[in-house]
């Protein structure tokens, strides 16, 4: 019996460390790819002679792929297991990241980014489900934030490649983002444990999609969708457009990459800080901290004129925008039972990807109309306020439920 699966005999603490560590490596590569298009944007535009609207489509193609990827990946994971779907998604986004580097025209580039996004989208709900189920309710926020910290660190690696000059050829970053995930697949295949919560559940056939709208979960589902949509709209607008906006404002490409590096370092620290504070601060204080921080950072990015001020504004933006995103990823699994958890998280991530796709397109359209950086930042403010109210309601509801359970 001990030979059936070695991972089932791994002590729980070791199992948690192994799961978080391996999922962190996948998140690292996801973060690198999410930042890659922004870092390579100037080189891509020059190589293919693309205008801002076409670049908006390239940014949004990758994000559009994330939507069906997240939805399908979550539903498949509740049927076939988190680990199998995660491995398949890694193969998909690794292969098509390589295809991105080999693209020969605008249309092939858009298709390659679309398929890369589908792989990335399917990975994230499974990373969240594996980590949260390995940790259990007590350590879920900390475990998810530690795992998700890989995303901003991976993005910081992409930015570091940009300002160090390693991406003089724009294809380089996509080669790295494609080859490394494929090399990680055998490691995860042999060492990553499947979720015990999934393996031990009696119901092997998945609950229907409508289960996330059942009594008791429908309001949480809709509010999660609201805060995911508007939070990711802002995050992806920054990730994709900020490097090009900085170059247009007169900063050099290495300086623009330096600002993005500061943004992602802030994101990594914010992910850890806000994840640790999630169970300590009241819902009102947590919501105010995240979303007032996001508003302040957007104002700072629009107003900063010197390189030093822009570095500081980028750091703060990363801390609260990406750090706040991590809180959402830790929050979502709390509202769904095991048999629909990956589906619930996956649909929320998919709706968030709609916001992520809308952000770059909206920014591209506004810039084409001549609104400038300040206009783009100002247009994001109402959505941030709505997301902050939704997060407050969700955290307050969870806190009340935990108090009642005691």
pLDDT digits (tens, 9 = 90+) for 359-380: 777 877 777 777 766 777 777 7
Q: How far apart are CA 194 and CA 191, in angstroms?
A: 10
- Residues contacting 293, CB < 8 A, separation 6+: 316, 319, 320, 324
pLDDT digits (tens, 9 = 90+) for 1-12: 344 444 444 446
> Looking at the predicted structure, is the pLDDT value of residue 92 above 90?
yes
Write down all domains in the chain, each with its CATH number in brackets: 10-190+214-405 (1.20.1250.20)
The pTM score is 0.73
pLDDT digits (tens, 9 = 90+) for 130-174: 888 887 766 777 788 888 888 888 888 887 887 776 667 788 889
pLDDT digits (tens, 9 = 90+) for 251-271: 887 888 788 888 878 888 888
195: nearest Cα among 149, 128, 281 = 128
> Looking at the predicted structure, is the pLDDT value of residue 199 above 90?
no
Q: How far apart are CA 375 and CA 36, in angstroms?
A: 25
235: nearest Cα among 303, 297, 178 = 297
pLDDT for 358 equals 81
Which residue did the predictor score with more confidence, 202 or 197? 197
């Amino acid at each position: 019996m001990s030979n059936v699966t070695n991972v089932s005999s791994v002590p729980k603490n070791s199992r948690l460390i192994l799961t978080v560590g391996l999922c962190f490596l996948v998140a690292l590569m996801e973060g690198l790819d999410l930042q890659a298009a922004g870092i390579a944007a100037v080189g891509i535009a020059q190589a293919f002679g693309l205008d801002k609207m076409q670049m908006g489509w390239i940014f949004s193609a990758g994000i559009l792929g994330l939507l069906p990827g997240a939805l399908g990946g979550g539903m498949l994971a509740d049927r076939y297991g988190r680990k199998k779907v995660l491995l398949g998604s890694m193969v998909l986004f690794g292969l098509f990241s390589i295809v991105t580097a080999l693209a020969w025209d605008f249309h092939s580039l858009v298709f390659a980014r679309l398929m890369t996004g589908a792989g990335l989208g399917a990975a994230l709900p499974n990373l969240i489900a594996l980590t949260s189920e390995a940790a259990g309710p007590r350590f879920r926020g900390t475990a998810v934030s530690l795992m998700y910290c890989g995303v901003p660190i991976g993005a910081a690696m992409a930015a570091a490649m940009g300002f160090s000059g390693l991406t003089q050829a724009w294809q380089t970053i996509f080669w790295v983002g494609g080859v490394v995930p494929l090399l990680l697949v055998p490691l995860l295949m042999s060492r990553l444990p499947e979720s015990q919560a999934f393996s031990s559940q009696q119901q092997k056939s998945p609950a229907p999609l409508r289960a996330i709208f059942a009594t008791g979960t429908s309001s949480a589902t809709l509010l999660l969708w609201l805060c995911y949509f508007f939070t990711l709209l802002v995050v992806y607008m920054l990730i994709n457009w900020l490097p090009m906006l900085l170059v247009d404002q007169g900063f050099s490409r290495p300086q623009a990459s330096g600002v993005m590096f500061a943004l992602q370092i802030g994101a990594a620290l914010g992910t850890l800080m806000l994840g640790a504070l999630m169970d300590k601060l009241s819902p009102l204080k947590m919501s105010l901290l995240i979303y007032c921080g996001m508003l302040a950072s957007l104002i700072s990015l629009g107003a900063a004129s010197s390189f030093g001020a822009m570095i500081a504004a980028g750091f703060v933006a990363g801390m609260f925008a990406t750090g706040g995103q991590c809180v959402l990823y830790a929050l979502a699994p709390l509202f769904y039972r095991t048999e629909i958890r990956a589906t619930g998280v996956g649909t929320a991530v998919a709706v968030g990807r709609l916001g992520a796709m809308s952000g770059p397109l909206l920014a591209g359209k506004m810039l084409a109309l001549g609104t400038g950086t300040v206009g783009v930042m100002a247009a994001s403010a109402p959505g941030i306020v709505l997301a902050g109210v939704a997060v407050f309601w969700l955290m307050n509801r969870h806190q009340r439920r935990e108090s009642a359970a005691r």
